Amino acid sequence: MTLSSWYRIRTLDDGVSRILEAHVAADWRCNIWHVRGRDRDLIIDTGLGLRPIAKDIMMLAERPVIALCTHSHHDHAGGLCQFKTRLGHAAEADIFANPTREATVAHLLEPRTVKKLPYDGFDVADWCYQPAPLTETVDDGDVIDLGDRVFQVLHFPGHSPGSIALWEAATGVIFTGDTLYDGTLYDHLYHSVPEQLCESLRRLRQMPVSRVHAGHFSSFGRDRMQTVIDEYLDGKRSMLCPGQMGGD
Ligand SMILES: [Zn+2]
């Protein structure tokens, strides 16, 4: 077994790269997004973080990096502790700083979800990510400036109380975390509020989005975004509707 390629990176056509954890199940791993900026780079979500990301993705070791987590769940915030600058929403600051398996929903992990041993002693049955206290909290309307690309924070509670998205008005690109992806939406976790998720998705539906880079699975355009939102608002795509999952 080689661990030299725990992470795989693919650059998309809008200057955005998608990093995946190669040995985490495709229906479980999140998308780790990398945006290269003139003055600094942005990482949106950090995966389970079972191996050092900057070892595989060398440019992360060479450039100033802001890491932002769309929320504190284990599949998004596991690698956050590896970064010096750590942003997230205040509503989940306590979870980032004092993660537990229950609060990060890591207790839902199954043996099948991690396909190779990342390090000696790893056990999916008791793993939890390392504390990653936020160095700065962000809220709706805050701006993250990479020098030549500017992103606005949107607070989209529902999936979790501190779920956020990042919106680039100049291009219409949005990073939605687990608020929206093309799959079954997890709306009944312990701190989910489905009514809030509906409200957040109605707000998102009105936006002049050109491209959705979601928390899981493939990216998609505005028409697909509206279809997926409409299907959710029609009562489909909830985690309470069995038999649905996303594609990759
Ligand atoms: Zn989540």
Cα(173) to centroid(ligand 1), Å? 20
pLDDT class for 159, splitting at 50, 70, 90? very high
CA of 159 to the centre of ligand 1 (A): 7
With cut-offs at 50, 70 and 90, classify the pLDDT of residue 245.
low
The per-residue pLDDT for range 114-148, each reduced to its tens digit, is 999 999 999 999 999 999 999 999 999 999 999 99
CA of 59 to the centre of ligand 1 (A): 27
178 Cα to the center of ligand 1, angstroms = 5
> How far away, in angstroms, is 5 Cα from ligand 1 center?
25
What are the C-alpha distances in Å from 50 to residues 53, 64, 76, 155, 156? Answer: 9, 22, 12, 28, 27
Q: How far is the CA of 191 from the centre of ligand 1 (A)?
A: 10
Q: How many angstroms does the Cα of residue 9 sit away from the middle of ligand 1?
A: 21
HSE toward the beta carbon, residue 5, CA cutoff 13 A: 5
pLDDT band at 3; cut points 50, 70, 90: very low
Q: Are strands 85-89 and 32-35 parallel, antiparallel or unpaired?
A: unpaired
Ligand 1 geometric centre to CA of 216 (Å): 10
Sequence ranges of the domains in the chain: 7-233
CATH 3.10.310.10 is right for the domain spanning 7-233: no
* Ligand 1 geometric centre to CA of 104 (Å): 8
Model pTM?
Answer: 0.95
pLDDT score for 61: 81
Question: Above pLDDT 70, what percent of the chain?
Answer: 96
- Check: CB of residue 41 under 8 Å from CB of residue 63: yes
How many Å lie between the centroid of ligand 1 and the Cα of residue 246?
A: 14
Q: How far is the CA of 71 from the centre of ligand 1 (A)?
A: 7
Q: What is the pLDDT of residues 15-53, one digit of tens each?
A: 899 999 999 999 999 999 999 999 999 999 999 999 999
Using the CB atoms, write b or e for 121-149: b if 16+ within 10 Å: eeeeeebbbeebebeeebeeebebebeeb
150 CA distance to ligand 1 middle (Å): 25
Residue 182 CA, ligand 1 centroid: distance in Å = 14
Mean pLDDT value of segment 54-63: 83
| Residue 2 reports pLDDT greater than 50 | no
